[in-house]
Every structure is written in structure tokens, then in C-alpha cells.
């Protein structure tokens, strides 16, 4: 009986001793957004407005932050291989939408065309499509697969 009383007292203490602010570890974070396929002539023209692209059902590859020096470049923004660790593969829906939980930190995003990785955004340090996930926040990130477009 004494053990049951002690256990119930301890449980009551645990349940009432934390405020919602203290329970920050329960919050979720990650990335969400859309992958868009952009093709064709994207040159500005008053006669033909540019297409914003269409949602792309694909897999978005999330790697540890990857610098160009850590990628075996094929040509342009295509890469044969990456020497950083694959963190997650995210399948997009038919409209290109994705949402995935990730730990706080920096990541690089890629899609594939055939056997090659593709990403064409870089920062000033030559990191490929860098994305920062902060604790308790959902980072909105849209990925443009425009390898079939002409600018």
C-alpha cells in the first residue's frame, strides 16, 4: 500500500510540475513545402507569361549540409555522388507537397533525374541548397526542379 501511495504521489508531482513552456521538447520541427517541375522557355515576354511550374511527385533527398567540395559534380547542377550522409528521403504527393520532421540543424536538399542528384541553389560558402531547421519551427522550403527550363 505504501508503494502504491508513493508511486501515485510521484506521478501527481510529475504531471503538475511542468508548465507548457517547459515542455519545449515535445514540440516538433522540420521542413515543409513543394517540389515544382519547371520546363520550357522561361524568358520574359509580354506575349507569353512564364509558367510557375507544376507540382512534381518525386523523392526529396535530405543530406547533411553538403558543400560543393563534398559532391562529385557531373555537369551544371547535377551530381554523380555526395560524400555527406543521407538523413531522410521524403516522398512528395502528386502536387509536389512534402512535410517531414527533422532535428534542428543544417541540411542540403536534392532531387534526382535518373541516377544524378540535382540542386541549383548555393550560398556564399558554396553549400548546396542549404536549409536551417530551428527547434520548434517548421521551415517552409520550396524546391524548383528546373533542369528542363531555358532562361
For the segment 5-27, what is each residue's pLDDT rounded down to a tens digit?
A: 454 544 444 444 444 433 444 46
* Model pLDDT, residue 84: 98
pLDDT of residue 22: 35
Give pLDDT < 50 ranges for the chain: 1-5, 7, 9-26
Q: Could you tell me the domains of the chain?
A: 27-150 (2.60.40.10)
CB-based burial of residue 107 (10 Å sphere; 0-12 exposed, 13-18 middle, 19+ buried)? buried
What residues contact 127, with CB distance under 8 A and at least 6 apart? Answer: 65, 66, 67, 68, 106, 108
- The model's pTM is 0.78
Residue 145's pLDDT is what? 94
Amino acid at each position: 500500500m505504501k508503494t502504491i501511495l508513493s508511486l501515485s504521489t510521484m506521478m501527481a508531482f510529475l504531471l503538475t510540475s511542468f508548465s507548457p513552456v517547459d515542455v519545449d521538447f515535445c514540440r516538433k520541427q522540420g521542413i515543409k513545402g513543394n517540389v515544382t517541375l519547371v520546363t520550357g522557355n522561361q524568358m520574359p515576354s509580354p506575349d507569353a507569361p512564364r509558367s510557375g511550374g507544376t507540382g512534381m511527385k518525386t523523392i526529396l533527398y535530405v543530406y547533411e549540409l553538403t558543400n560543393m567540395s563534398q559532391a562529385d559534380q557531373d555537369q551544371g547542377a547535377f551530381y554523380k555522388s555526395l560524400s555527406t550522409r543521407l538523413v531522410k528521403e521524403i516522398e512528395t504527393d502528386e502536387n509536389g507537397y512534402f512535410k517531414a520532421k527533422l532535428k534542428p540543424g543544417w541540411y542540403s536538399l536534392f532531387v534526382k533525374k535518373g541516377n544524378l542528384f540535382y540542386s541549383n541553389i548555393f550560398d556564399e560558402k558554396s553549400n548546396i541548397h542549404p536549409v536551417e531547421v530551428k527547434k520548434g519551427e517548421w521551415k517552409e522550403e520550396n524546391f524548383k526542379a528546373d533542369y528542363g527550363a531555358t532562361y
